[in-house]
Amino acid sequence: MIALWTRLGRPFRGRIALAFLLATAGGAMAALLLGVSGWFLTASAIAGAAGSAYAFNHLYPSATVRGTAMGRILARYGEQLVGHDATLRLSARLRRHLFEAEARARAGLARPASDSLAVFLDDVHLAEGALLRLWLPAASAAAASLIALVFAGLAGWVPLAVVAGGLALALATGRFGIAEQRRIDARLQTLNDRYRREAASLVENRVELEALGRFGDAAAALGSLSAETAGQALAAGRRTRLAGAFIAMLGGLSATLAVMLGSGATVPLLAGTALSVLAAHQSLAIALGALTAYPATELALLRLNTRIAAPPAIAEPADPAPAPGTILPVRTRQLQIGFPGAAPLCEVPDLDLAAGSVTEITGPSGCGKTTLLETLARLRPPPGGALDYAGIEAADLRAAAIRQHTGFAPQMPDTMRGTLADALRLAQPDADDARLLEACRTALFMPVVTRSPEGLYQSLEEGGSNLSGGELRRLAIARAILRGPELVLLDEPFAGLDAPMRETLAANLGAWARGHAAAIVLATHIPAAGLWPGLTYRQVPLTLSSKRHTSG
């Protein structure tokens, strides 16, 4: 927790310190309230039985009881208020850093696996509750234990030894419970990981499984795995409850022994000691019960810290060059593209991408066409060669300085639930409807816009499931050109189009490029030579290389 908090910049130190102070005060007040109440009631009863009740001073003890009761309420309420506030603020800071780190660390446009996202969300949930569910109850229990030891010390060395031994045994029980929980969590983690993978596979392959008549079998197997996972979780919960009951029983035994062996102390003081010991053990049972979740939380915090510390896919320069007013021309020299490690590299023919040019990247599947587009967009670092923008080496510029002049339309674009206008305005949030419609006309997306009376504000399902693949690609093209970028990167823009639509789309994009002094680079299996009048046209074939990158 400390390592992750430090990596976040140790935010909200004052609020967190105040939450711990209030938790400590709440635990101390709870034990003090029972201890003083036990002493007061017993002393009052003894005075009444002896006929000296009128001589017994009720004011100070009564005020102490009322004060500690009110203090406990205020401390507990304040702890919840400040603790939740600090947790929510930390959660917001944590999520922002995590999403930024994930985005920077992921090269290209590859999507994370579904089970990876589930682990991510589970880890965040555990981390968010670490302060409220683990550390604040521990601080409260520590304060209550200290008050119990003070009462026992006032009652004598023997009661103090008994109470200290009971508390030590309770802590040892909790420590054993945490160690046992590590083993249980390891088994649960294996089951949970397997469940996530199979659940994600069931959802992603639902259509294929139904077509093969195997969906029912796969769902039944997943149900059995879910039942096994739930059984393990219930077993872990029973152990936690048993540990809590044992600690509470240990508190009763410690209180009884302290009273029986405290022969040199007054009866009221022994009564107060007994009740404060019970309060301390109750707080310990709650805290140690919560701390059994520590192994899972510890693992989650380690994974989150690793995610935040992951190096970015594109290393930013320590002293970046000033952002240029333009990124054109874009030039490559002996550029290599590919994935670090053992993947084959592809050497790209030298490119000179200037305003008013169209460059078609062709080649067989897997030769690196999409990887080249991602490299030009500074979404992926090149393993070798030179890449510069407006005469400045790519490594000397911040990636954002390049991307703000770039529009990218991937072959499989992502969309979120909302409207068509929402999806388009991801590229230019302040674009008005007229600009949106202009981009849609250029990208041949108007038939989708006009088929509903709601136009740009018709619903778009998550992932664009209510659009065809070709419609999604044309939506991505409209989004890529919306803000008038200088470098437009299109991945298979003509896929699924008949010849007349392909010619119209090429003519529209060519006219747009001439009007905006932009360069177009498209990866395609369908060369469109002769469809780009007025533009400098070049076709660049890519082939796989036998070279392998072994330095990274």
Question: Which residue is associated with the tokens 């140790």?
Answer: 10
Q: Which pLDDT belongs to residue 429?
A: 93
Q: Find out whether 327 and 485 touch, Cβ atoms under 8 Å.
A: no
Q: What angle do CA 465, 521, 415 make, to 5 degrees?
A: 20
Q: Which pLDDT belongs to residue 506?
A: 93
Question: Which residue is associated with the tokens 């030891």?
Answer: 149
Work out the average pLDDT over 181-187. Answer: 70
- The pLDDT tens digits for 347-362 are 889 999 999 999 999 9
Q: What's at 117, amino acid-wise? A: L
Question: Which residue is associated with the tokens 């209030």?
Answer: 22
Q: Which pLDDT belongs to residue 551?
A: 37
- In 338-462, the DSSP E strands lie at 346-347, 351-353, 357-362, 384-389, 392-393, 406-409, 418-419, 459-460
Q: Which pLDDT belongs to residue 491?
A: 94
Between 549 and 407, the higher pLDDT residue: 407
Work out the average pLDDT over 469-480. Answer: 94
Q: Which pLDDT belongs to residue 545?
A: 58
How far the first Cα of the chain sits from its last, in Å, is 32
- The pLDDT tens digits for 370-415 are 999 999 999 988 888 999 999 999 999 999 999 999 999 998 888 8
Say what percent of the chain tops pLDDT 90.
43
Work out the average pLDDT over 289-308. Answer: 79
Residue 441's Cβ-count burial label (10 Å; 0-12, 13-18, 19+) is: middle
Mean pLDDT of the chain: 85
> Does residue 164 have a pLDDT over 70?
yes
Of the pLDDT bands very low, low, confident and very high (cuts 50, 70, 90), residue 56 is low
> Does residue 267 have a pLDDT over 80?
yes
Q: Which pLDDT belongs to residue 546?
A: 46
- The pLDDT tens digits for 28-48 are 999 999 998 988 888 888 877
| Maximum average pLDDT range among 113-117, 170-174, 186-190 | 170-174
pTM, entire model: 0.70
Work out the average pLDDT over 462-486. Answer: 91
Q: Find out whether 141 and 284 touch, Cβ atoms under 8 Å.
A: yes
Q: Domains of the chain (ranges plus CATH)? A: 2-188+234-309 (1.20.1560.10), 330-541 (3.40.50.300)
Question: Which residues sit opposite 487 in a β-bridge?
Answer: 406, 519
Token readout for 398 is 């911040």
> Does residue 157 have a pLDDT over 80?
yes
Using alpha carbons, list the distances in angstroms from residue 182 to 178, 189, 234: 6, 10, 15
Q: Find out whether 505 and 384 touch, Cβ atoms under 8 Å.
A: no
**DSSP of 108-155, one letter per residue?**
TTPPPPHHHHHHHHHHHHHHHTIIIIIIHHHHHHHHHHHHHHHHHHHH
> Does residue 552 have a pLDDT over 70?
no
If DSSP codes are grouped into helix, strand and coil, which group holds residue 237? Answer: helix
Work out the average pLDDT over 196-225. Answer: 80
Q: Find out whether 23 and 79 touch, Cβ atoms under 8 Å.
A: yes
Q: Which pLDDT belongs to residue 237?
A: 64
Contacts of 111 (CB under 8 A, 6+ apart): 414
d(CA 477, CA 444): 9
d(CA 472, CA 450): 15
Of the pLDDT bands very low, low, confident and very high (cuts 50, 70, 90), residue 53 is low
- The pLDDT tens digits for 57-109 are 667 778 888 888 998 899 999 998 998 898 888 888 888 888 888 888 888 87
- The pLDDT tens digits for 123-150 are 888 787 787 888 889 899 999 999 999 9
